[in-house]
Amino acid sequence: MTTQIVTAGRKDVDEFFNLSDVFTAERLNHTPRLVFIATEDTVQIRLLDHAHELLSFPDDTPVMGQWRGTMRSDFFQFTVGQYRTSAEAALAPLKSATQVVKVVGPQGGVKRLSFEYVDERGIRVSKSVIGKAEIERLTLFFHAEGIPVAVELSR
């Protein structure tokens, strides 16, 4: 038996991926993503409050996401594959990163991650990131790309 999952929501996901904070926030308490996992006789719906968790599912996995608008909330339907493509495109400019420094406190806690890169328009950008999950995600990305990450003790 084949189970078909039909979701209803907006399909213009480029704006949702690029402009909403639902993929950059460390944790979404009020607007988690819904992932629909079909087996032979059931459909399991999982709530994910971290965007990076989506990447552990197959590309054809249906997802529903919510974006809190100014007047109302909109629901968007997409697949993990669509998100994966968007996430990879967003990280592509960071392959040019230099001067990557992870700043840690005296007890070893991570304070921030700073780096420079050339954006898609050819402009050199300096960026500093806070938030443990985002710092960990970017640190893993830089290591995978062979970009050195220096560790510096905060003052």
| Exposure letters 40-76 (e unless 16+ CB within 10 A, then b) | eeeeeeeebeebeebeebeeebbbbbbbeeeeeebeb
Average pLDDT over the chain reads 85
pLDDT at 131: 81
pLDDT at 13: 85
Q: What is the mean pLDDT of each run of 10 residues along the chain (155 residues)?
A: 73 78 64 84 86 89 82 82 89 94 90 93 92 86 95 87
pLDDT at 57: 94
The edge-to-edge listing of strands for the beta sheet with 62-68 is 43-48, 33-38, 62-68, 73-79
- Single out the residue of 127, 144, 125 nearest to residue 136, CA to CA: 144
pLDDT at 5: 76
pLDDT at 123: 93
Which phi-psi region, left, alpha or beta, contains residue 136 (left: φ > 0; alpha: ψ -120 to 50)?
Answer: alpha
pLDDT at 152: 92
In angstroms, the CA 140 to CA 135 distance is: 9
The two tokens of residue 146 are 């062979």
